[in-house]
Amino acid sequence: MVRLVGLVLTLVLLSTLPTGLLEIHASFFELAYDDGNADYGWSDYYPYAAAVRFSPPSTSWRITGIRLHATCIIRGSQVFYVQIWDSGLNTVYWSSFLPSSVFKNATLDWYTIPLPNVVVKGVFYVVIVPMFTLDGSQLWISVDDDAPFSNTSFTVNVDDHAIHASLNATGKRPGDFMVRVVGEPAPTLPELKLSSIEFREDETLVVFTYPGELTGFGARLVKPDGSFTEENATRVGNSLTVNTRGEGLLNVFAVTTGYETVGASVRLTGGFRKTYENLLADHAALKRDAEYMDSKISYLLEENRELRTRLNQSQTLVRLQDDRINELLVNVSSLRGELDHARAEASMLRGLTILLAAGLVLTISLLGFLEVGRRWRRGG
């Protein structure tokens, strides 16, 4: 509904637009895809935005300003946003502007938004978030719908960092957003890279690394409703640490000694926090289990010590028993020897007994014979 009303209003306002061309200002180049003739205007509620994809003539490109053809009805203190995304749709620069600092009220024209020497590598996107409201400022971005089309203009969702629709030649409303870039080739700079994310109970620590010298740095958290807060950032060595308690898109920037700005972003969502809470609960459970296992291990170690003591005592008793057994074996051997000697003596005595018995029998026989002989003589 808002878009249809806006289209009718804008077609009336843009009927007398001046023609714009690709220009070179001093040593700065103006990159453009539109033909300078605006045909209608576009605006939408947050989180939708206009985006134009640029392919600079050099690998590394310094953006010094954004040229925007638009009209703005200025009311209140509502801001609009300008973002630079890399080829992966990640934020490398983000800033907010008061419409009154850029536009003349209800005046359709070209406007320049200066940027602090933002350096990008390769393909990048310029994203204009109009932050349309019914009771506040209304920013309308001009669209050139004359062929040929560059197929580089899109509407995007800045909350999800996703392309919502394309204004390409095969679409229902092909065209080119009248957004241009002023800049120049730049030396390749190191990247500001995400190093780690640490979730704590009441805050999140996000660490980036940048290997070069810096003259300044900072961080902003863009919340899901489009508002933002400045976050605390500190640097130690090559590490840039940001402390935040909120959720949303965290944009971090660093200013080099050559006054170039490099940036990076990371999305902090409730899912991460929920995952952290689950991990924290798991850690607490594992800690309890570990404490229980520690107590169990201590109990088992104590039992092991007691068993070792008993084992040592048992081994001592076994050694004593072994000594006694050995002593008994010696005694048995000695007794066996004595028994063998006694048996030999018994055998000898048995032989003597037999001889004595034989002698006795012989003696008795002789005595009997003599007695018979004697009686016989007496009788004779």
Long-range contacts, 15-23 (Cβ 8 Å, 24+): 17/69, 17/108, 17/142, 20/69, 20/110, 20/178
What one-letter code names the amino acid at 57?
Answer: P
Q: Residue 139 pLDDT more than 70?
A: yes
Find the distance separating the first CA and the last CA of the chain, reported in whole Å. 183
Q: How confident is the model at residue 5 (pLDDT cuts 50, 70, 90)?
A: very low
261 beta partners: 118, 255
Q: Residue 297 pLDDT more than 80?
A: yes
- β 193-199/204-209 pair status: antiparallel
Question: Using CA atoms, how far apart are residues 86 and 147, in angstroms rounded to an integer?
Answer: 27
Q: What is the pLDDT of residue 43?
A: 97
99 DSSP 8-state letter: G
Instruction: Name residues whose C-beta falls within 8 Å of residue 10's C-beta, 6 or more positions apart in sequence.
Output: 40, 41, 42, 71, 140, 142
Who has greater pLDDT, 328 or 166?
A: 166
Q: Residue 263 pLDDT more than 50?
A: yes
What are the residue boundaries of the structural domains of the chain, listed by start? 2-185, 193-268
Question: pTM of this prediction?
Answer: 0.65
* Segment holding 56, helix H or strand E: none
| Mean pLDDT along residues 289-314 | 86
Q: What is the pLDDT of residue 186?
A: 92
Residue 83, token pair as written in the block: 């973002």
**DSSP alpha helices (H): ranges in the chain?**
2-13, 270-379
Measure Cα distances from 174 to 151, 167, 170 in Å.
8, 4, 7
Question: In the chain, helix, strand, coil percent, each to 5?
Answer: 35, 40, 30
Q: What's the CATH code, domain 193-268?
A: 2.60.40.1930
Q: What is the pLDDT of residue 153?
A: 97
Who has greater pLDDT, 300 or 103?
A: 103
CATH 2.60.120 is held by the domain 2-185: yes
Q: How confident is the model at residue 276 (pLDDT cuts 50, 70, 90)?
A: low
Q: What is the pLDDT of residue 8?
A: 28
Q: How confident is the model at residue 10 (pLDDT cuts 50, 70, 90)?
A: very low
Question: Using CA atoms, how far apart are residues 204 and 128, in angstroms rounded to an integer?
Answer: 29
Who has greater pLDDT, 92 or 367?
A: 92
Q: What is the pLDDT of residue 27?
A: 61
